Amino acid sequence: MDPYENLANAIILQAVKDYRLARKKRKYHPKNKEAKLMIEDCERFFRSDWFTALTTVDGEALLRKLEEEEIS
C-alpha cells in the first residue's frame, strides 16, 4: 500500500473514531455542545469533496452504517 493511501485511510479511520465517540457522548449527555459540533463536523467531512478525493467509499453509505451501530 502506498504511503498516501495509508494516510488517507488513517484520516478516515480517525473521523470514524471521532464520530463514534461524539455519538456516545451525546447519548449520555444530550446537551454536550462539543460532541454535537464533532458530529456535525464529521458528517460534513463524510459528505465532502475531500472525503471523495481520499477514498472510493460512499460517504452517505458510511454514515448510514455508523448511525445503525448500537452505541453502548
Alpha carbon distance 55, 69 (integer Å): 22
Do residues 51 and 4 lie in contact, with contact meaning Cβ atoms separated by under 8 Å?
no
Query: What mean pLDDT comes out for the span 9-38?
Result: 97
What range defines the domain where residue 63 resides? 3-68
pTM of the model: 0.92
Summarised one tens digit per residue, pLDDT across range 37-70 is 999 999 999 999 999 999 999 999 999 999 999 7
Domains: count for the chain: 1
Predicted local distance difference test score (pLDDT) of residue 8: 96
User: 19-53 burial, b if ≥16 CB within 10 A, otherwise e?
Assistant: beebbebbeeeeeeeebeebbeebbebbeeeebee
Q: Quote the CA–CA distance of 21 and 66 in Å, as a whole number.
A: 11
